[in-house]
Amino acid sequence: MKIGIFTDCYTPNTNGVVTSIRMLEQEMKKRGHEVYIFAPSKSVPNENQNLYMLKSMPLIVAKQYKNRIATFYSREIAKKIKDIGLDIIHTQSEFSLGAFGKIISRKYDIPFIHTYHTMWEDYIHYIIPIKGTRNIYPKRFARTFSKRFVRKAECIITPSKRTEKYLKYKCKIKNKPIYIIPTGIDIEPFSKNNHTVEEKNKLKESLGIDINDKVILFLGRIAEEKSIDLIMNNMPAVFRALPNAKFLICGVGPAEESLKEQAKKLNIEDKVIFTGKIPWTDVPKYYNLGDVFVNASITETQGLTFIEAMASSLPIVARYAPNLSEFIKNGENGILVKHDNDFSKSIINAITNEKLRNKLTTNALKTAKKYSIEEFGDKLELLYTEIIESYKIKKNFENSIEKKNKLQKIYKKISDKLKSLTRIIK
């Protein structure tokens, strides 16, 4: 199978979309399929990779993320795609490269499917900085834009039930199959067994952390929607209860300077450490430093860092959000905080209550295993195969009613097959 992945966001950017694409590419190539990535210029190729880049320029809005906007068409790359003979197109974004993927789909009569990674109305403030009641209009635009983009897609993939409901009931996407396929991760690199005490202590020393210090870890993009400021406000109470604790913030992003200022105002700057950008291969080492993983974001469509923390046997303290409650059960495999001021108490409890800690970490690892890269690969491989076949069948029907009934049966069959691939982990 020849799979074309079209994305506006790729390495060297580090976020959930890039992680999802990398996991997808890795697993499909392992299964013998050919994967072709189409991304903006300035993307960084990995070893032995089919990466094609369209000319691009820095995105003016939300420039703090260093995203790029590419041309919507390239005659040269379109010709190469024709020569490659893609079997399926999988778009991962709704903008320039996503539009290019749709154009190629129509031009060469290739089925296209789309993964909806981002609920844009949660991020519209970066593009249209309107607050108050007038903010409803940009949100409506985001919903309409999302609906129109997937109109010709064979199906939509979402990483969570929350995103599926958003597309169905807020974007009003009807008569279009939506399949929930959470991104899987390779959990093996995150296992505690892969990291020695010596390695952990050496990394701590390099960061100015004493080997006996407790580490409260945030790892991810440092941005307004991650609500790290909420966690920071709870840190003075944590440090009073745990004088040997440190707050380790791993990553880069536009909110970094404001958080440093906040730490100074709270007089805790000597206990808050910013690592800057972490190499992809070193991420598991930083999870291994943590005694508890914290995150207050409520805008995640899946939240891969939570799964990575679980795979690292870390107790999680997070702000309650509907999508997180799909896989984090309060008091069982993590702690979900409903009141902002309870963060400090929950963090302290997760570190000091050994019985609770053991329960959380044991169950967290079991949960992480449900999000294996193997299951992710099984489901996408099945979906690609079925969509390619249904696309061929669809062309043989001239009667619209007969066509609709047949497709509904096919989509139901796909849904049942995907459910049968869900692993039961006890």
Looking at the fold, whether 218 and 85 belong to one and the same domain comes out as no
Q: Is residue 253 part of a domain?
A: yes
pLDDT at 62 over 60: no
pLDDT at site 12:
82
Q: Is residue 320 part of a domain?
A: yes
pLDDT digits (tens, 9 = 90+) for 86-95: 999 999 999 9
Looking at the fold, whether 210 and 114 belong to one and the same domain comes out as no
Looking at the fold, whether 220 and 179 belong to one and the same domain comes out as no
Average pLDDT over residues 173-193: 91
Whole-prediction pTM: 0.84
Q: Is residue 225 part of a domain?
A: yes
Average pLDDT, the chain: 90
Burial class (CB in 10 A: 0-12, 13-18, 19+), 398: exposed
- pLDDT-based confidence at 392, cuts 50/70/90? confident
Looking at the fold, whether 146 and 278 belong to one and the same domain comes out as no
Looking at the fold, whether 268 and 339 belong to one and the same domain comes out as yes
Q: Is residue 382 part of a domain?
A: no
Q: Look up the domain containing 328 and give its range.
A: 188-369
Q: How far apart are CA 235 and CA 238, in angstroms?
A: 5
Looking at the fold, whether 227 and 301 belong to one and the same domain comes out as yes
Looking at the fold, whether 38 and 114 belong to one and the same domain comes out as yes
Q: For tokens 């009569």, what's the residue?
A: 109
Q: How far apart are CA 402 and CA 287, in angstroms?
A: 53
385: amino acid identity, one letter: T
Terminal CA-CA length for the chain: 34
- pLDDT-based confidence at 405, cuts 50/70/90? confident
Range ranked top by mean pLDDT from 59-63, 358-362, 422-426 = 358-362
Domain CATH for 168: 3.40.50.2000
pLDDT at 63 over 60: no
List of E strands, 118-162? 156-158
pLDDT digits (tens, 9 = 90+) for 111-165: 999 999 887 776 665 555 555 545 677 778 788 888 899 999 999 999 988 889 9
pLDDT at site 60:
65
Looking at the fold, whether 293 and 166 belong to one and the same domain comes out as no
Please answer whether residues 104 and 4 qualify as being in contact, where contact means their C-beta atoms are separated by less than 8 angstroms.
Answer: yes
Number of domains in the chain: 2
Closest C-alpha to 7, from 83, 140, 118: 118
List of E strands, 151-205? 156-158, 178-180
User: Percentage of the chain surpassing pLDDT 90?
Assistant: 65
Average pLDDT over residues 160-176: 89
Q: Is residue 397 part of a domain?
A: no
Looking at the fold, whether 198 and 273 belong to one and the same domain comes out as yes
Looking at the fold, whether 32 and 153 belong to one and the same domain comes out as yes
pLDDT at 61 over 60: no
pLDDT at site 66:
62
pLDDT at 353 over 80: yes
Which is more confident, 40 or 407?
40
Q: How far apart are CA 311 and CA 324, in angstroms?
A: 16
pLDDT at 22 over 70: yes
338, 369, 400 - which closes a domain = 369
Looking at the fold, whether 194 and 167 belong to one and the same domain comes out as no
pLDDT digits (tens, 9 = 90+) for 202-231: 999 999 999 999 999 999 989 888 999 999
- pLDDT-based confidence at 398, cuts 50/70/90? low
134, 151, 184 - which closes a domain = 184
Looking at the fold, whether 281 and 334 belong to one and the same domain comes out as yes
Exposed e or buried b per residue across 89-114, where buried means at least 16 C-beta atoms within 10 angstroms of its C-beta:
bbbbbbbbbbbbbbbbbeeeebbbbb
Closest C-alpha to 251, from 290, 289, 277, 217: 277
133, 165, 184 - which closes a domain = 184
The strand pairing partners of 37, in sequence order, are: 5, 51
| Tokens read off for 399 | 């009667």
CA 23-29-31 angle, 5° bins: 105
Please answer whether residues 375 and 423 qualify as being in contact, where contact means their C-beta atoms are separated by less than 8 angstroms.
Answer: yes
Q: Is residue 216 part of a domain?
A: yes
